[in-house]
Amino acid sequence: MSKVPSITLNNGVAMPQLGFGVWQVPDDEAERAVTTALEAGYRSIDTAAVYENETGTGRAVATSGLPREDLFITTKLWNSDQGYDSTLRAFDASLDRLGLDYADLYLIHWPMPAQDTAADTYRAFEKILADGRVKAIGVSNFLPEHLERLFDKTSVVPAVNQIELHPHLQQEASREFHARHGIATEAWSPLGQGKGLLEVPTVVAVAHKHDRTPAQVVLRWHLQLGNVVIPKSVTPSRIQENLDVFGFELDADDLAALKALNEDRRLGPDPATFNVA
C-alpha cells in the first residue's frame, strides 16, 4: 500500500498528490527509473508524447505486476498534434506506446495562444473522456486567460492545470484562480530542476531544523500548499528520498521563510509567448 495521500479531482477521481516525472529521461532509462519508482511506492507517473519515453514507461508498468487500478498514468498531447482529429489520433498513439487501454489523465501540453486550437483540441479530449478512455482531462501551462477562453468554448472544467511552480515561482494568482474553479494545481519542476534552489540558505536552514534534505523540504512545502508534485530523478536514493516526505510538518515560520523566496522567476518558457509546434 502506498503511503502517498490522494486528492479528489473535480470529477471525483482520486489522484496521488505525489508522483514521478520522467522528462528528459531516455526511453530505455525510463523503464529502469519507473521500475525503481514503482518499487519504492510511487503510483503516479507523469510522461508526455514529446518526452519520447511512453514506451519505456509502459514497459515498466507492464512488468511491475501492479494492478492497473492502483496506478495513475498521465500523458500529454504535444503542440504539433493540436486540433480535433489529430488529437484523437495522437491519443491512440500514446495509449499504444504505453501499452494501456486507458490513461488516468490527459493534458494539453501548452496553450499555444498564437495558434488558437486549444478549444478544438479540448473538444477531442471531452470525446475521449466520454468514451471512457481516460479518467480525467486537463491542461498544462495555461494562464488564467487561456483557461477563461477554454471555459467559453467547452463544457468540462479541466481537472488539473500542470504549471511550472517552485519556491522561486510561487504562482499565487494561478493557484488562487484554480482553487476558485475547482482545478487542481500540479507543480512541474517542483524542485526548480535541482539547480540553485536546493542550495538557497533558507531552504538549507529549514532542512537542518527538521533533519531532512533541502529537496524534502521543498516537496513538503508543495504538499502543505495543496499542490500535486511530480519530482524527477534517475538516482535510486533520490527517488526514495523524494517519496519520504510524509513524516514531518513545516511550521508557520518555515512556510513564511519559504514564501519570501518568491521571485516570479521562470526556468521554462512563458506560456503567453511559447508557440513552438
Q: How far is the CB of 109 from ligand NAD (least distance, A)?
A: 6
Q: How far is the CB of 153 from ligand NAD (least distance, A)?
A: 22
Query: 8's torsion region: left (phi>0), alpha (psi -120 to 50) or beta?
Result: beta
Judged on CB neighbours under 10 Å (0-12, 13-18, 19+), 204 is: middle
The answer to whether 46 touches 22, Cβ cutoff 8 Å, is: yes
Q: How far is the CB of 162 from ligand NAD (least distance, A)?
A: 5
Which is catalytic among the residues 51, 102, 106, 122?
A: 51
Closer to ligand NAD by CB, 171 or 213: give it: 213
Q: How far is the CB of 24 from ligand NAD (least distance, A)?
A: 6
E strand intervals along the chain: 6-8, 14-16, 20-21, 44-46, 72-77, 103-108, 134-140, 160-164, 184-188, 228-229
Distance CA 34, CA 19 (A): 11
Closer to ligand NAD by CB, 83 or 194: give it: 194
* Active site (annotated) includes residue 51: yes
Residues that bind ligand NAD (CB under 6 A): 21-23, 46, 109, 140-141, 162, 188-194, 198, 213, 215, 230-233, 238, 241-242, 268
Closer to ligand NAD by CB, 132 or 150: give it: 150
In a 3-state reduction of DSSP, which class is residue 141? coil
Closer to ligand NAD by CB, 58 or 192: give it: 192
Q: Report, as residue numbers or ranges, the catalytic residues.
A: 51
